[in-house]
Amino acid sequence: MASSLKNLSDHDPAAIPDGTQLRVGIVVAEWNEAVTASLLEGALKTLKRYGVKEDQIHIRTVPGTFELTYGARFIANQYSPDVVICLGCVIQGETRHFDFICQGVTEGITRLNLDYEIPFIFGVLTTETLQQAVDRSGGKYGNKGDEAAVTALKMAALRKGPSKS
């Protein structure tokens, strides 16, 4: 979680597993596209920095955050990745729609993690304002896309074998 005490993009490079042998799926919501495009940019930059080859990254888009679970399942079945990153952004509005979407996508991604033998990474911003989303998608609190990519590398390494430490 980003706060004034923790930047989403801060991590110890020595603690990040090598990604050269990984196949990564990424599903990105089109809703709040300026934010989600920045999340994708952050994730891609981090994956490539740690060795994931561009031709081993499979990206698909879905209309909104709620559709991330279907898109993630599609990617898992279509491309057989080692890990799938789900990127989206839900901003609080005037109705309870925010609550239903956030709960649905959280439960959906959790279910995928339980039903499949690969990790699905929750890279979804759930903010009260657009400014909070901007601050967490490359702004003053870093980029949740970076954090999701680091989490993906660590979870794929967990699945593949013992850590390097």
Per the document, the length of the chain is 165
Q: Which residues contact 130 (CB under 8 A, 6 or more apart)?
A: 32, 35, 91
> For 7, which DSSP code?
-
Report in angstroms the alpha-carbon separations of 10 from 142, 147, 150: 8, 8, 10
Q: Reply yes or no on whether 58 is catalytic.
A: no
Active-site pick, 97, 111, 140, 160? 97
69 SS3 class: helix
Task: Give the long-range contacts of residues 110-117, CB within 8 A, separation 24 or more.
Answer: 111/69, 112/69, 112/72, 112/73, 112/76, 112/84, 116/73, 116/76, 117/159
User: Which residues are annotated as catalytic?
Assistant: 97
